[in-house]
Structure 1
């Protein structure tokens, strides 16, 4: 049976995984690609629609980001279902990431990379997921930086 009380947990778990080091391909990590694109466009706030995969502002999206975002609706729906939340219960859902583009990278502890040159840059950001359910109620979940997890 579908449960509204699971929405925040499902949103948090999906975003935590999506922004983590587990989201990578042969060319690198999503977190690194998003930060580099945001910085190149001097865009401190990025919003991703979890129902469509649309990235806003659109000018930061490139082929690297498109490779990661094209499956968001399917991945997000799968996470919801795994926690007994039906997609029909969701009116809107978005992930907001805010960067301090003036901040430098931070030194993180506890991560060892086989190839340190391929390690993503650890930069401060604030990430939150906002979802409005079919009753009009807003749910929110904060997600820590991948290197703070």
Structure 2
């Protein structure tokens, strides 16, 4: 029997998956691409209407960012249905990702990378106008430099992608923040 109750966990799980190590595009994670574009354009806030597949502002929407948003938005109904709820209960679903571009600090694993704090909030409104919200917060850094956007060796890119997928698979079972941080450190080292 379908229920409204799982929508609370959907708001958590969608955001957590979206900003996780599973959202890797070409040569960086989604948040890395977004932060790099935010720093370039000085636009620090992305808003996504998940149901309508609309994201704003357009200044932040590189090809990688657009394709990732589209992919995850298509997955949203599967997540809702798999949770024991139904899309019939969902009136709206929005995601907001915001960086504080005024704050930076060197990444502890490599001082060449500057990370900034971010917030990702998912808000689902059901057919009864009840809101289900979840906010994720943390720090992130782009793993590619502006001038070097593509890895030079295709085999190296393939190895990094395989390592990334394996580490995401393992961390999805463990779920420990320290393991996720270590995964990113290993990927940065492998990417050199």
Instruction: Tell me if both proteins adopt one fold, taking TM over 0.5 as the criterion.
Output: yes
Match of 2:7 in 1: 7
Match of 1:58 in 2: 58
Aligned CA distance change for structure 1 residues 121 and 19 (closer, same or farther; 3 Å): farther
Q: CA deviation at 1:16?
A: 0.3
Match of 1:37 in 2: 37
Larger relative contact order, structure 1 or 2 (CA cutoff 8 Å, min sep 6)? 1
Give 3-state SS (helix, strand or coil) of 2:65's partner.
helix
Matches within 5 A, 1:8-23: 8-23=8-23
Do the aligned residues in 1 keep the contact of 2:43 with 2:59 (CA within 8 Å)? Answer: no
Match of 1:96 in 2: 96
Q: CA deviation at 1:50?
A: 1.2
Give 3-state SS (helix, strand or coil) of 2:116's partner.
coil
Matches within 5 A, 1:60-139: 60-105=60-105, 107-108=107-108, 122-139=115-132
Aligned CA distance change for structure 1 residues 18 and 37 (closer, same or farther; 3 Å): same
Q: CA deviation at 1:146?
A: 7.0
The alignment's C-alpha RMSD in Å is 2.2
Structure 2: state its 5+ residue gaps: 141-175, 178-192
Separation in 1 of the partners of 2:43 and 2:2?
37
Do the aligned residues in 2 keep the contact of 1:91 with 1:134 (CA within 8 Å)? Answer: yes
TM-score by length of 1: 0.82
Match of 1:141 in 2: 134
Structure 1: state its 5+ residue gaps: 110-115
Do the aligned residues in 2 keep the contact of 1:51 with 1:72 (CA within 8 Å)? Answer: no
Q: CA deviation at 1:130?
A: 0.7
Separation in 1 of the partners of 2:63 and 2:24?
14
Greater radius of gyration (CA): 2
TM-score by length of 2: 0.65
The number of aligned residues is 140
Question: What whole-Å deviation, never above 9, does each CA across 1:11-40 have from its counterpart, x for those lacking one?
Answer: 111110110111103332111111111221
Q: CA deviation at 1:108?
A: 5.0
Q: What stretches of structure 1 move > 6 A for 4+ residues in a row?
A: none
More helix by share: 2
Q: CA deviation at 1:92?
A: 0.7
